[in-house]
Amino acid sequence: VVVVQNASVLDLKKALRRHVQLRQARQGGVPQLSWKYIWRTYHLTYAGEKLADDRKKLREYGIRNRDEVSFIKKLRK
């Protein structure tokens, strides 16, 4: 997924959403995912740190080109 140099976590989330929707449209997968459910159920993480603040820049988390972020399931309270 490609985002601008000074992108925020929210920009990354939007880019992920766009990428997955385009990929599903090409492959004929599930027509619609509930992104509200996904963001409520999973955290984006990088190097073991949760990307919790949507306004924080990716650069502040130390994310650079070709770095990998992942989803982890949120724990119940």
pLDDT of 38 > 90? The answer is: yes
pLDDT band at 76 (very low <50, low <70, confident <90, very high): confident
Q: What are the structure tokens assigned to 68, written together?
A: 């990998």
What does pLDDT average to over the chain?
A: 91
Sign (positive or negative) of CA dihedral 6, 8, 10, 16: positive
Cα separation, 61 vs 56, whole angstroms: 8
What is the pLDDT at residue 46?
A: 96
**What share of the chain in percent tops pLDDT 90?**
74
Cβ–Cβ under 8 Å, residues 9 and 58: yes
- Look at 29 and 12; give whichever has higher pLDDT: 12
DSSP letters, 12-77, are HHHHHHHHHHHHHHHHT--S---HHHHHHHEEEEETTEE---TTSBHHHHT--TT---EEEEPPP-
Q: What CATH class is the domain 9-73? A: alpha beta
Span 38-61, average pLDDT: 95
